[in-house]
Every structure is written in structure tokens, then in C-alpha cells.
Structure 1
């Protein structure tokens, strides 16, 4: 498997207030396009972001008041930076674990829009 491109949501969007993301406390959808044209998606979370989300959920009531957290196709990392994401993806490809973690995109709805956002179906 050879990589053609890696799209990182946080490189095209800001946080909810439009500020740059804190790489140590954020999450981001990642789309990897391979040379064969296939696209694969996973969501990367920083370790700190899991704590921030469960703390938020404990006050909003989500996920049984923060008692659990889940996300499909989740990858946990120390920081959400292009360098770290590329390192992880290369490691997963080398370890032949990429297809176990990333999910193949099957529709155009899995494509980022002009603003760089994914639809809710991804």
C-alpha cells in the first residue's frame, strides 16, 4: 500500500470558536488516499482530549455523565500533528494493521466538502 495523500481535518478547520487546535487536546478525522485511489478514514484523539471530553460529558450528561467514551475507528496519540499522524500511519502500514484500524470510504459523502468538513456519515 502506497500513500497518495493524507487529509487532516484540523489543518482546514479551527476549534468551535475558530481558534487553532491545541495539538495536545483535540481530535481530528483523517482521510488517507492510497495510490490505487481508495480512501480510508479514522479519527485520531489525543490522550488529553479523552480526559477533556469525559469531563465535559460529566456535566452535559452524555455517555452516562462521562462514565464511558467511545468512537468508531479511534486512534489514540500523544498529539494531533501532521508529523505524528504520518508516523502512526506509516507504522500501521508496516505492521500490516492499517486495514484493521482505518475504514474504507465507500461513498462520495465520505469526501470532505469545500470547507474541509466531512458529512455526518463518515
Structure 2
């Protein structure tokens, strides 16, 4: 992209346009590096339902992660467009975790 380079870390053989839980590293043109774990709403529901059965996270009653970014739709192209929007609106640094400090 014009203002950044994103490196998504899919599982082996994962279909990139159906990815719904994936880590990403973002390098901005200013030399800073950022990270996030991107989840879809549907994937969060699946995780929380599983935790309700296993007892994790108070029986699936909450979800928390320090660099989590929740998107509506799956797929690397959709997630990239969200990143573009976050950079354009200036919200990027409030949401992703800086990792180069």
C-alpha cells in the first residue's frame, strides 16, 4: 500500500479471503512497526462459545486482548482496507500495538 506494508501471518494452507483470526505486522513509511490480531465478529462468537464450555474467561463471558482489532468481514483484502481507513483517519496508533520501541 502507499503508506504502509502489511505482513499477515496465516496458518499453513489457510484461504486468505476467508481468514477470520490472523496476526498482522504493519510497517509504516515513517519506520515504525505495529501489530494486531484481527478477528471477525463471527470468530469472536465462536471463541466465546467454546470458552463457555471450557470455563475460560469466566465461562466465555468476556474477550480481551491487548492488540485486538475486530472487523465485520473476513479476508485479507477486507482487513487491509480497514487498516487503510485507520491510517487515513488517524486512529491507527490508538488501536494497533507499537512493537519497535
Cross-structure match for 2:6: 6
The answer to whether structure 1 residue 72 and structure 2 residue 66 are counterparts is: yes
Deviation at 1:9, TM superposition (A): 1.3
1:99 is paired with a residue whose SS is helix
Give the counterpart of 1:23 among 5, 18, 25.
18
The answer to whether structure 1 residue 104 and structure 2 residue 98 are counterparts is: yes
CA 80–9 in structure 1, closer or farther in 2 if over 3 Å, else same:
farther
Specify every segment of 5 or more residues in structure 2 that has no aligned partner in the other structure, as ranges.
none
CA contact (8 A) 2:48 2:60 kept: yes
Deviation at 1:101, TM superposition (A): 0.5
Higher share of residues assigned helix: 2
Deviation at 1:20, TM superposition (A): 2.3
The answer to whether structure 1 residue 83 and structure 2 residue 77 are counterparts is: yes
**Take 1:99 and 1:67, find their aligned partners in 2: how far apart are those partners?**
28
Specify every segment of 5 or more residues in structure 1 that has no aligned partner in the other structure, as ranges.
108-122
What do the CA deviations read for 1:16-49 (whole angstroms, capped 9, x no partner)? xxx525826x311111111232211111101100
Q: Larger RCO: Structure 1 or Structure 2 (Cα < 8 Å, ≥ 6 residues apart)?
A: 2
Q: How large is the RMSD of aligned CA atoms in angstroms? A: 2.1
Question: Paired residues, what number?
Answer: 99
